[in-house]
Copies of this chain bind each other. A is one copy, B any other.
Amino acid sequence: MRQVAVVGAGMTRFGKHQDRSMKDLAREAVENALRAAGIEKETIEAAAVGNAVAGLITGQECIRGQVVLREMGIGGIPVINTENACASSSTAFHLAWLYVASGMYDTVLAVGMEKLFHPDKKKTFEAIGSAIDLEIADEFARQMSGEQAAGAGESRSVFMDYYANLARAHMARYGTTREQFARIAAKNHTNGSLNPHAQFQTPRTMEDILAAPLIAEPLTRMMCSPIGDGAAAVVITTAEKARQLTSKPVYVRASIVASSQQHAEGAPGIVTNAAQKAYKMAGISPQEVQVVEVHDATAPAELIVYEELGLCSPGEGGKMIDDGVTTLGGRVPVNPSGGLLAKGHPVGATGVAQISEIFWQLRGEAGKRQVAGAKVGLTENGGGVLGNENAVASVHIFTL
């Protein structure tokens, strides 16, 4: 397969964009990505568009990518609409990569987009419930009221129990502490304060995180990612064309999408499997990775993913955050963008936003949150009920 490189990225700020449509958000992201790549929209030969729940939010299921792109004058090309829950747009990126790697097309756009906020809150809740997703449980608690209480409360309990159970199991097995989870959330909120695209830009201490309302032991509200709207886009092309466009192409060294399966107790989970395939594909070891964006749906998820990605040994996630290894300035900063916890998590936009962050980091364009000298980056994006049979994981590895 051909070598592929990212040559441009763009995203909106994540957050509550009550007055903006998904089209409008996508336009901002795509136009910024094209501008960053220094190419005209006519150069784009195909597009892959990730979105999770617009069907339920808008009542309009079909060809959402075409509808969004033609607004900005992009048409006549193959548009692949794809959905993989919270991993929708890393899946879109994977398909865009496949188009270029295969030799089918040279220059392809990958877009992630989502509007979760709706004037009718019930629609937001239904859509989120539909995402079989967990991380937004915080907002269920935050926004629950009156008529939504029953349904939302039930979802919340399923969601939070799940993550809380995972966290408690890790605590029981390895002695991991609430303070360690809080330290992860504090790191991400503090990173978010350095990122103009982040939904939350207020630095937080471990004490702030622990003082937030308890959702389900050990999770406090600030250990959970919020509801948000947003879009992100990247332009990819062949290595050869990339070198004509920029002195700093960001090469895609591995692109893996996996789904989970029934497996024996104690067998490696979906993230571990996807990561191992990605390392093998890239010919890169976990120890060589210098900057990482992971799917921190909740703070404990990030800690567990350290281990699943092989950034540390099983059970040593707590020590890793205590030692500051994953903090900005540490050996391998994780979620310098603020992650899902602070940058936000508009479901279908998250995957491409993670890739955008690694693009900027490897090129030295990440501003105040820059990881100095990073040349190897990794993204991990999850979807569905992780640990369950209906889950998705996507791992990408990039080098300058």
Contact = CB atoms under 8 A, between A and B. Distances in A.
A109 to B, nearest CB: 12
7 contacts: A63-B84, A66-B389, A70-B389, A76-B258, A78-B258, A79-B259, A79-B392
Contacts of A63: 83-85, 132, 259, 383-384, 390, 392
Interface in A61-92: 61-64, 66-67, 70, 73, 75-85, 91
B62 A53 contact: yes
A55 interface: yes
A264 interface: no
The CB with the most chain B CB atoms within 10 A, among A55, A103, A257, is that of: A55
A260 B64 CA distance: 14
The CB with the most chain B CB atoms within 10 A, among A62, A81, A131, is that of: A62
A314 B3 CA distance: 43
Given A83-B83, A258-B77, A52 B56 contact: no
B61 A131 contact: yes
A95 interface: yes
Q: Please tell me how many copies of the chain the complex holds.
A: 2
Nearest to A347: B62
Q: How large is the interface on A (under 10, 10 to 19, 20 to 34, 35 or more residues)?
A: 35 or more
Interface in A227-285: 256-263, 270, 273
A5 interface: no
A389 B383 CA distance: 32
Given A78-B259, A82-B80, A66 B1 contact: no
Contacts of A101: 102, 104
A51 to B, nearest CB: 9
A83 B84 contact: no
B56 A59 contact: yes
Contact of A392 (B1, B66, B256, B389): B66
Contact of A260 (B61, B75, B261): B75
